[in-house]
Amino acid sequence: MSKKYSLNTATAVVIANMIGTGVFGSLGFQLLDLHDYASIIILWVLGGTIALCGAFAYSELGAALPRSGGEYNFLTEIFHPSVGFLSGWVSAIIGFSAPIALAASLLGGYFGNVIAGYDARWIGAAVIVGITIIQSMDYRIGGGFQSFATMIKIVLILVFVVCGFMFAPHQAVSFVPSHGTVTTIFSGGFAAALVYVNFAYSGWNASSYIAGEIRMPWKNIPLSIISGTAIVTLLYVLLNFIFLYVAPGNEMAGVKEVAFIPAKYIFGESGGRVISLIISMLLISTISSMIIAGPRVLQRMGEDFSIFQVISHKNKHGIPAMAIWFQSIVALVILFTSSFNTILGYTTFVLTLFSTLTVIGVFVLRLKKPNLLRPYKTFGYPFTTIFFVAANLWFMYFWASRNLEPSLIGLGIVAVGLLVYFAADYLSKHKNKSNSVHQPKAFKE
């Protein structure tokens, strides 16, 4: 069997990266400002549309530049190695490790509602270590586990939706757009809610991080990114429809664990435990997908900069085991120091910045290399690309205007990364030069 991930695994990585806790925790806060249900459904459709527009662009880049690393690979090839390094500096060390720690902590917390008496952090740590061992083995075992865990995730969500339609009492509400819907869409509350919906959709670009390890990448990268994003958009819209359909809005408004309320109406008083178990199981595939995707950036950086070479080491099955363990150790440190919320606040702005630069790269690459083989071309180009860039520029402005200090600290992290890049570039070149000087000369008669 080829030492590559299949299309099913690549798609599972995309779906699992996207479906975390965002969809189960944001509706309660949306209901504080939004009372028109049609506008809430439109909100989730719009978030999915923005993600799909980004997916179209990443699909073109992934098919044309099929090497693992995500933005690190794309920005290095399109702009300059320093730009790629900065994206890798942010995403590989913090951008994946912090969400892994957050998901593990939440998993432990939800699981604790089912079986009390356990420390949530240690439960989360055990899951991180267990999945790290699985994903450090080989493609067949790791890919099979990811596909199975993601399938369970989809089935559980569909069961929740079907049970909501069939067994729960329905609220007398309307989802038909009205004049109030238009007013709500242009309100500040809708804009603020869209920011958090955007968080819930993050991860749609996940398979681009393992591009070099996917079978037939020119075909399967676009298929995995686009189909995965479309599936998640449908699931998100269905879930929020069911939440609003079976539970009173005033009971859900302001509730962080909003899924508990509709679960109570669907499954009765045991609903809390049911939803806790469901979310715990959902987060297993989320953690697994990030443990697959993130280390490929570290691996690429190790291949390109000799001083990081130890990180790029692969085991006998071609898996970057060193990078996987390095990232998981960082995630465990963040988990037990409880600093991940702060780090996520610092990196939100810059992670969005790099994904926006990557989509702009579609324009740049077409100008620089018009004859480059492009097995897939961005659907709706240039309109879908412009729409994504404009939406993200607005998002960054909205976020920075309300979170100026964390955004500036995030840019400071980038500035430090630039210094690290120049140091790494200098040392790598010096090491390569030193090695070439000490190479034995060919024997001459």
Domain membership of residue 201 (yes or no) is yes
Instruction: Give the relative orientation of helices 321-337 and 271-293 as an angle to the nearest 10 degrees.
Output: 140
C-alpha torsion sign, points 404, 409, 413, 418: positive
Domain membership of residue 433 (yes or no) is no
Structure tokens given for 105: 């902590």
Domain membership of residue 314 (yes or no) is yes
Number of compact structural domains in the chain: 1
Residues 6+ apart with CB under 8 A from 443: none
Domain membership of residue 430 (yes or no) is no
Identify whether the C-beta of residue 246 lies closer than 8 Å to the C-beta of residue 169. yes
3-class SS of residue 319: coil
Q: What is the pLDDT along the chain (445 residues), one digit of tens a residue?
A: 456 889 999 999 999 989 877 787 789 889 998 999 999 999 999 999 999 999 999 999 999 999 889 999 999 999 999 999 999 999 877 888 888 888 888 888 778 777 777 788 899 999 999 999 999 988 888 888 999 988 988 988 898 899 999 988 888 888 999 888 999 998 888 988 888 898 889 889 999 999 888 999 999 999 999 999 999 999 999 999 999 999 999 999 988 778 888 988 888 877 777 777 877 888 898 899 999 998 999 888 888 888 788 888 888 888 889 999 999 999 999 888 866 667 767 778 898 999 999 999 999 999 999 999 999 999 999 999 999 999 999 989 988 888 888 889 889 989 999 999 998 888 877 766 666 555 554 434 3
> Where residue 58 sits, what CATH number does that domain have?
1.20.1740.10
Domain membership of residue 235 (yes or no) is yes
Structure tokens given for 237: 């819209």
Q: pTM, whole model, 2 decimals?
A: 0.88
Residue 445 is predicted with a pLDDT of 38
Beta partners for 214? 5
Residues 6+ apart with CB under 8 A from 375: 63, 64, 218, 219, 222
Domain membership of residue 445 (yes or no) is no
Domain membership of residue 207 (yes or no) is yes
Residue 248 is predicted with a pLDDT of 93
Residue 176 identity (one-letter amino acid): V
Question: Residue 12 is part of which domain span?
Answer: 7-424
Residues 6+ apart with CB under 8 A from 13: 5, 146, 150, 206, 207, 210, 224, 228, 289, 292, 293
Residue 439 is predicted with a pLDDT of 52
Identify whether the C-beta of residue 385 lies closer than 8 Å to the C-beta of residue 363. yes
C-alpha torsion sign, points 59, 60, 61, 66: positive
- The number of beta carbons lying within 10 Å of the beta carbon of residue 364 is 12
- Which residue, among 257, 262, 270, has the nearest Cα to 240 in the 3D structure? 262
